Structure 1
Amino acid sequence: MHTLAVADGIRVGLGELIEIRHRARELQLFSSAARRSALLGAHHSRLRGRGVDFDQVRVYQAGDDVRNIDWRVTARTLEPHTKLFHEERERPIFILAEQSRQLFFGSSRLFKSVLAAQAAALIGWAALEHNDRVGGLVFGSSAPHEIKPRRSKQSLLQLLNRLVRANHALHGELPDEPDSFGQALRRTREVLRPGSLVVVLCDERALSDTAERQLLLLGRHSELLLLPLSDPLDHALPAAGLLRFSQDGAQLELDTHDSGLRQAYRSLGQARQARWERLAERLGSLLLPLSTQFELIEQLRERLQPRPVWRP
C-alpha cells in the first residue's frame, strides 16, 4: 500500500485518507438512534427509501399505495390486500470516485482530484462507523477498479489505496479513458443490488448526455448522492489579459479583458450547475456540490445543516 503522507493539495496520501476518519465524527453524515440525517446509516434517512424488505400482507386500507396491492391474495380472498414493507436497517454504500486528468487541476486550496479522494474517504469512514457495507469504484484515466461492498475496514482501505494509486498516476499528459464516467455508471448498474446508496464524486463537467441517461437508469433501483466537483476557474475567468493554453499539441489564446468572453464563460458554468440541479430534482436525490475553494468539512457542514422553516 502507498503510505506517503502528501499534504500539498496536489497529491493525496494514504495516511491523510486514514486520518480523515477522525474528522468524520464532526459531521452527522449518517443517522443515529436519536437523530436523523442526510445519509442512510443504521436507521432511517431523509433520502427517499428504496431499500426496503417485504414484511407482510394485510387488508387494503384507504390511503395505501395501489402499486403495492398483492393481486394474488386479492384474487384468492376476493378482498383487496396490500403488501407492507419495512426499511432496511443497513444497505450497501458504493462510492463512485473519479481520478482523471480533468480533476488534476486546482486554482485554490487543492486539486479537484485531491478533494474527490478526501470526500470519498470521509463518507467511507462515516459509513463504516455506522456498520454499513462500503465499497466503490475508482475511474478516470486508468481502467476502473471495483471494490465489492463489505462491512470491513480492509475493504475500505483497499478502496482508499486504489484512490491513492490512481491519484499518484495522474499527470497533465495522461490520456483519459473515453467515456470513463459512463462506463463506470454502467458497471455500477451491473454489480449493485437494488436499494443500494451510490455516492457519485465526479467533475462537474462530466455530466454528458450519456452519463445523465446512465444516472437516471441507476436511480430507478438505487439511491444517489451527487457530489459534483468544481474549481472557481470552472465558473469565472479573471480579467488577467491574454492567456495561452496548450494540450496535446493544440493551442488556445483567450483575451480575458473581453467582458463578452468572460460573460459567455460564466454562463457556461451556470448552465452546468443548473443541469445538475435539474437532474437531482428528477432523481429525487441530494445534491452537494463541492469546490476546491473551501475546506471539505466546512462545506458539508454548511450544506447538511437543517434550514430554518419560515412561518408567516
Structure 2
Amino acid sequence: MAGAVPGVHTSLAELIDIRHRAREVQLFSTPSRRSPLVGVHHSRLRGRGVDFDQVRVYQAGDDVRTIDWRVTARSQEPHTKLFHEERERPVFILVEQSRRLFFGSGQAFKSVLAARAASLFGWAALGHNDRIGGLVFGDAEHYEIKPRRSKQSLLQLLGRLARVNQGLHVERTPDRDGFSLALRRAREVLRPGSLVVVLCDERALSDTAEQQLGLLARHTDLILLPLSDPLDRALPAAGLLRFAERGAQLELDTHDSDLRQAYQRQAEGRVARWQRLSQKLGVLLMPLGTERDVVDQLRDHLQQRGGR
C-alpha cells in the first residue's frame, strides 16, 4: 500500500526507519550503559544468559552471593563480581495485527502502535547482537519467522508485519482465539531461555490466553505490552450512538451515566487483570496507548523501572 495513511496503516519503509529511533530508548544493555530491562533479558534464577564481566569494590545493596572471596582475601576489602547478558539470545516478538486493533482515536491506530513497538524491539535486539524472530498473528492466520542473528531475519519479520497491517480493514471477521493459538505455537517452537515480547490488544486476555501465558512463562522470560485506546477506557457523553456489523445493530445512549460508569468499570477490570497476571508470573508489564508516542511511553516505563 504505497499511499498508506500515516497512523492508519504502516509500511515497511516506516518500520525500517524506526531503527534510528531505537537509539532514543535503552531497551537492552550495552558495555557502557545498563538497561533497566537487564533483569528481564537474562534470568539469574535459571542460571543462564550471564557472562562474567569484572570485579569491583563491594557496595551497599550488592548481592552477597556474588562476593569474590579470593580478591577480598588478597585486598582485605570486600569485592563483588559483575555479570552482563550473554549474547545471541533468542528474542521472539509476538505481535497482533487483527481487526480489533484496527482502531484508534489518538496519534495512531492500535495496529500501527503494535507494529512500531515491535520494530523498536527488533532493532534494539539486533543492535544487541541477539537472534531475532517472531510471530505475526491476525484474524485468520499467523506467520512465523524463526529466530536468527541476521538483519535479513528482522527485515523478513517487518515485511510480513507491514503486509498484514496493510491488509486490515473493517470488513474482516475477527478470530477471538487468535491470541491463544499464537501463544500455543510460541510454546512449541521456542527454546528455554528465550525472551518473548508480547504485543496484543488489552482485550485479548481470555482465560485460555492467560493459561497459555502461564505455561510460556515457565521456560521463557516475558515482556507484556497490552495495547489500548482512550475510547477503550471511557465513553464520551456524545448522545445516541449507533453501531452496525453484518446486519446486526446496536444503539447506546452515552448520556446515560450508569452506562458510562459500567463501561469504565469493565475497562478497569481489564487493567487490573493484566496487573494481577504480571505479578503472579513475575514478568514485566508495560501497557501502551495510542494517545502518545511509543518511544516516549517505553522510555517512561524504563525510567520508572530504573527508579525502583
Aligned to 1:283: 281
Structure 1 pair 309–52 and aligned structure 2 pair: CA distance change class (3 A): closer
Question: What pairs with 1:113-262 in structure 2 (closer than 5 Å)?
Answer: 113-262=111-260
Aligned to 1:38: 36
Question: 1:37: how far off?
Answer: 1.3
Whether the aligned pair in 2 keeps the contact of 1:104 and 1:112 (CA below 8 Å) is yes
What is the alpha-carbon distance in structure 2 between the residues aligned to residue 247 and residue 159 of structure 1? Answer: 32
Aligned to 1:52: 48
Whether the aligned pair in 2 keeps the contact of 1:143 and 1:177 (CA below 8 Å) is no
Which deviates the most, 27-36 or 262-271? 27-36
CA displacement 1:106-132 (0-9 Å, x = unmatched): 111110000000000010000001100
Whether the aligned pair in 2 keeps the contact of 1:229 and 1:289 (CA below 8 Å) is yes
What is the alpha-carbon distance in structure 1 between the residues aligned to residue 306 and residue 10 of structure 2? Answer: 37
Aligned with 1:93 (options 88, 91, 94): 91
Question: 1:11: how far off?
Answer: 0.5
Question: 1:189: how far off?
Answer: 0.2
Whether the aligned pair in 2 keeps the contact of 1:37 and 1:45 (CA below 8 Å) is no
Whether the aligned pair in 2 keeps the contact of 1:47 and 1:286 (CA below 8 Å) is no
What is the alpha-carbon distance in structure 1 between the residues aligned to residue 245 and residue 292 of structure 2? Answer: 28
Whether the aligned pair in 2 keeps the contact of 1:128 and 1:134 (CA below 8 Å) is yes
Percent of aligned pairs with the same residue?
A: 65
CA displacement 1:160-193 (0-9 Å, x = unmatched): 0111111111111101234010000000000000
Structure 1 pair 265–178 and aligned structure 2 pair: CA distance change class (3 A): closer
What is the alpha-carbon distance in structure 1 between the residues aligned to residue 37 and residue 307 of structure 2? Answer: 21
Question: 1:133: how far off?
Answer: 0.4
Whether the aligned pair in 2 keeps the contact of 1:6 and 1:16 (CA below 8 Å) is no
Consecutive unaligned residues of structure 1, counting only runs of 5 or more, are 56-62, 65-84
Structure 1 pair 45–202 and aligned structure 2 pair: CA distance change class (3 A): closer
Whether the aligned pair in 2 keeps the contact of 1:52 and 1:86 (CA below 8 Å) is no
Structure 1 pair 48–263 and aligned structure 2 pair: CA distance change class (3 A): farther
Structure 1 pair 51–169 and aligned structure 2 pair: CA distance change class (3 A): farther
Structure 1 pair 187–9 and aligned structure 2 pair: CA distance change class (3 A): same
What is the alpha-carbon distance in structure 1 between the residues aligned to residue 256 and residue 42 of structure 2? Answer: 44
- Aligned residue for 1:195, secondary structure, equals coil
TM-score (normalizing by structure 1): 0.83
Whether the aligned pair in 2 keeps the contact of 1:5 and 1:13 (CA below 8 Å) is no
Aligned to 2:10: 12
- Aligned residue for 1:20, secondary structure, equals helix
Structure 1 pair 204–54 and aligned structure 2 pair: CA distance change class (3 A): closer
Report the residue type matching 2:48 in the other structure.
V
Structure 1 pair 265–151 and aligned structure 2 pair: CA distance change class (3 A): same
The structure with the largest helix share of the pair is 2
Which deviates the most, 176-185 or 196-205? 176-185
Structure 1 pair 308–126 and aligned structure 2 pair: CA distance change class (3 A): closer
What is the alpha-carbon distance in structure 1 between the residues aligned to residue 107 and residue 84 of structure 2? Answer: 44
CA displacement 1:192-251 (0-9 Å, x = unmatched): 000000000000000000000000000000000000000000000000000111112211
Corresponding residue pairs, total:
278
- Aligned residue for 1:94, secondary structure, equals strand
Question: What pairs with 1:103-118 in structure 2 (closer than 5 Å)?
Answer: 103-118=101-116
- Aligned residue for 2:210, secondary structure, equals helix
Question: 1:6: how far off?
Answer: 3.4
What is the alpha-carbon distance in structure 2 between the residues aligned to residue 180 and residue 286 of structure 1? Answer: 22
TM-score (normalizing by structure 2): 0.85
The two structures, once aligned, show a CA RMSD in angstroms of 2.3
